[in-house]
Structure 1
Amino acid sequence: MTVAYSVRVALGTADREACFAVRKEVFVAEQQVPEDIEYDAYDAEDADTIHVLAVGAEGVALGTGRLLHGASALGKTGGDLTVGSLGRLAVRGAARGLGVGAALVGAIEDAARERGLAAVDLHAQTHALGFYERLGYAAYGPEFLDAGIAHLAMRRVLSAS
């Protein structure tokens, strides 16, 4: 099944609310992540965070993710200003398996390259390791729990293009 969609940097209040609605559906409702820890200071309108949004042909939000960079990423990347942090990647159940997640990761990596970043780190739920490995990410460090879900840190060094 082929579904038409586009991926863009989220601009304005409506796009950001669409990102948050996808995250609420996937993380809070589906995965039972407490809502009070799903949203953080990096979601504030004035935060230096890039949110990306996948939208279907009918204008329905299908997925989202975000990039922390510069000072906002320091705590997540071990203090390395050349590394961005990909996070909050979520795709609605009906859109899984259609390439939406890979397209979102690609858009986040493009945004990272535009900002001169050399690599992107992420914290992957262990069930999603294969997805990220297929996109060129390599796991490092010990497994850890985040919101009661097993995760591993992963990194991908970015090429120039």
Structure 2
Amino acid sequence: MLTRVRVETKEQLEEAYRIRTEVFVHEQGVSPEIEIDGHEAIAKHVLVLYDGQPVGAGRVREVDGVAKLERICVLQPFRKHKAGAAVMAELESIASEMGLEKAKLHAQTHAAGFYEKLGYTADSDMFMEDGIPHVRMIKKLEK
């Protein structure tokens, strides 16, 4: 069973960092120096648990009046369990509670179809970020 958790403790935040490091640094080769950045303290973080075990993470922050969803990831063995959709749902809930009407994210191009199924639309050409091809995607949030 999936459980969505808003990060409130140092231990929960460390779990989010652990998942992000596994996916982005070890699996995808992103530099550890840029994975944990200067936005951590202002962002709101979430975890998704599968049977009590942390398996997914993400964060949201406001940028120019828009929710910017970032660092969305799920450990490889749990990607077919809808954990990614659970991360997104919780991030979007937080964004709506913040009074934001639109969300944006930088999707790795291989994951763009996943975000499209959740209502996001690409609004940029492909660009490189951390050596990985991305596309910017947007969505109007439910009120």
User: 2-side partners of 1:13 and 1:129: how far apart?
Assistant: 31
| Equivalent residue in structure 2 for 1:66, among 59, 62, 66 | 59
What percent of counterpart residues are identical?
Answer: 38
User: 1-side partners of 2:88 and 2:2: how far apart?
Assistant: 14
In structure 2, the residue matched to 1:76 is none
| Equivalent residue in structure 2 for 1:18, among 15, 20, 23 | 15
Deviation at 1:128, TM superposition (A): 0.3
User: 2-side partners of 1:56 and 1:152: how far apart?
Assistant: 29
Deviation at 1:55, TM superposition (A): 1.4
In structure 1, the residue matched to 2:72 is 89
1:54 aligns with 2:48: yes
What TM-score do you get using the length of structure 1 for normalisation? 0.86
Which digits, 9 at most, give the CA deviation of each residue in 1:99-153, with x for residues without a partner? 1000110000000000100010000000001000000000012211011000000
In structure 2, the residue matched to 1:153 is 136
Q: How many residues align?
A: 143
In structure 2, the residue matched to 1:77 is none
1:117 aligns with 2:97: no
| Equivalent residue in structure 2 for 1:7, among 4, 8, 14 | 4
User: 2-side partners of 1:142 and 1:96: how far apart?
Assistant: 26
User: 2-side partners of 1:159 and 1:12: how far apart?
Assistant: 28
Deviation at 1:56, TM superposition (A): 2.2
For structure 1, the 5+ residue unaligned runs are 74-79
Report SS of the residue matched to 1:42: coil
Report SS of the residue matched to 1:113: helix
Which digits, 9 at most, give the CA deviation of each residue in 1:43-78, with x for residues without a partner? 2xxx22100001122x32100000012xxx2xxxxx
Runs ≥4 residues deviating over 6 A: none
Report SS of the residue matched to 2:22: helix
Deviation at 1:8, TM superposition (A): 1.1
Report SS of the residue matched to 1:142: coil
Q: Letter of the aligned partner of 2:84 in structure 1?
A: G
Tell which structure's C-alpha radius of gyration is larger.
1
